[in-house]
Amino acid sequence: MNEIICPHCKKAFTIDENDYAKLIAQVRTAEFDKEIHDKLQAETDKQKATYDLDKKETEIQHRAEISEKEKQIEKLKAEIDKFENEKKLAVNQALAEKESEISSLKAQLTTAESEKEIAVSQAVKVKDDELTRKDREIIELKSSLSNKETEKKLAVTQIEQKKDSEIASKNAEIQTLSSTIELKESEHRSKEQTLKANYEEQLKMKDEQIEKYKDFKQRLSTKMVGETLEQHCSIQFNQYRMTAFPNAYFEKDNDSSSGSKGDFIYKDFSDDGTEFISIMFEMKNEADTTATKHKNEDFFKELDKDRNEKKCEYAVLVSMLEADNELYNNGIVDVSYRYPKMYVIRPQFFIPLITLLKNAALNSLEYKKQLYIVQNQQADLTTFESNIETFKNSFLYTYENATKKHKEAIDGIDKAIAQLTKIKEALQTSDKHLNAANNKLESDLTIKRLTKNADSVYDKLIEIRNDNK
């Protein structure tokens, strides 16, 4: 039992847990309805202000166009009046010219009549042919006068026809402008109706969103009809598993050997068994009555750590925290600026996000396969290069030893050649000395040379040589 103090009468009364829960629900519902009403009213006022502004701008534009058209019509009327005045002036001028010409002809005729009468009175006895000539002149003058009258009437008729044609053209232009004005007015009415229809459609969409939001909040307050957030996501995934994710692995993360673990691990594979995407999911929820409110960013670091330890490519936080934060309520939030390939979503975006990431990974699967082949080829090339390097080192060691021995042999040969050269030089010097001794023996070994300054020995030798003969 809970004791409640009335804020008005200051009396205390007790209620059981069910009544307390109903009271809290009523307060929460009233606050939520008030919040929804305020948001709806603000949105409605904003839409109405936008609509009024668009309507006012359209009316101003329409009035400006009508004013411009009226100015054009007034200008055309002024031109028509000016044209009428010019027409009357031209007709009057033409009539004046014709009257002047008629007066001149009448004067000429009067003068001719006078001259005729004078001529008749002065020359009664003029021959008949002269009288006939005068009559012909009179007839010609009368005919010329009649022609002048006809030309005058024809000129006046042509001027009137030209003026009538120009007036008809001006009237056609006025009619065209009137049609254009009517068309603009029709377009304005159509645009106004379209804006009104769009405004009503947007209001309808807002109402639907509010109803969905109310239903969503109601489901959250009852913990999604008795299910936890993890159970909800699991059920949602299993509903689409066989149709959208037939080769996928989606299980709870039960490995806590590193000290922590995520909630779910999602992996998907191609038909040949190649893994092309992996996601670590963390689900966070809390009741509306929880005293200590957590923030989504409080769990980013631990989620990134779990993702790296389980070697998953993406990390996704499915969160009901910060229910009033518009950043997280508007859709999928990319927080890669904090931790790479990490997203925060509401539960309604759980399946859409997996679908988006899967489709993006499928598009790059062929490139990953090619990259895997290239990496394997690179590994084979690395092994080949390693074998070549081992052979090169072994060959180089053997070659260096052989080169060392070869050099020692060449040095020994060089030393032997140097020794033989010295022996050769000594033999050559000895040969020279022997040749010199031989030459000396041939040239210097004579009795005369040997017995020089020894006469008694010379005489004795000559005696011996003679005895031998």
Q: How far apart are CA 110 and CA 260, in angstroms?
A: 136
Q: What is the pLDDT of residue 237?
A: 93
CA 450 from chain centre, in angstroms, equals 126
Nearest to 313, CA basis, from 350, 374, 259, 368:
368
Q: How far apart are CA 211 and CA 216, in angstroms?
A: 8
333 SS3 class: strand
Residue type, 90: A
* CB-based contact 360:334 (threshold 8 Å): no
Residue-wise DSSP of 435-465:
HHHHHHHHHH--HHHHTTT-HHHHHHHHHHH
Mean residue pLDDT of the chain comes to 76
Q: Compute CA distances 346 → 230, 283, 323, 339, 465, whole Å.
A: 12, 10, 10, 19, 149
Q: pLDDT tens, 305-340?
A: 999 999 999 999 999 888 888 899 888 999 999 999
pTM higher than the cut 0.75: no
The token duo for 399 is: 């070659």
344 SS3 class: strand
pLDDT higher than threshold 80 for residue 103: no
Q: pLDDT tens, 154-210?
A: 776 777 777 677 777 767 777 777 777 778 777 777 877 887 787 778 778 777 766
Q: pLDDT tens, 411-458?
A: 888 888 888 888 888 888 887 887 777 777 666 656 666 666 767 766
Q: What is the pLDDT of residue 333?
A: 93
pLDDT higher than threshold 50 for residue 234: yes
* Mean pLDDT score, 285-292: 63
Residue 235 DSSP symbol: H
Q: What is the pLDDT of residue 221?
A: 44
pLDDT higher than threshold 60 for residue 288: no
Q: What is the pLDDT of residue 312?
A: 93
Q: 138 versus 227: which is more confidently predicted?
A: 138
3 SS3 class: strand
Provide the strand spans (E) within 55-198.
none
Residue-wise DSSP of 363-411:
HTHHHHHHHHHHHHHHHHHHHHHHHHHHHHHHHHHHHHHHHHHHHHHHH
Q: How far apart are CA 211 and CA 40, in angstroms?
A: 11
Domains belonging to the chain, first-starting first, are: 33-219 (1.10.287), 224-363 (3.40.1350)
Q: pLDDT tens, 340-369?
A: 999 999 999 999 999 999 998 888 877 777
Q: Say which residues have a Cβ less than 8 Å from residue 11's Cβ, sequence separation at least 6.
A: 5
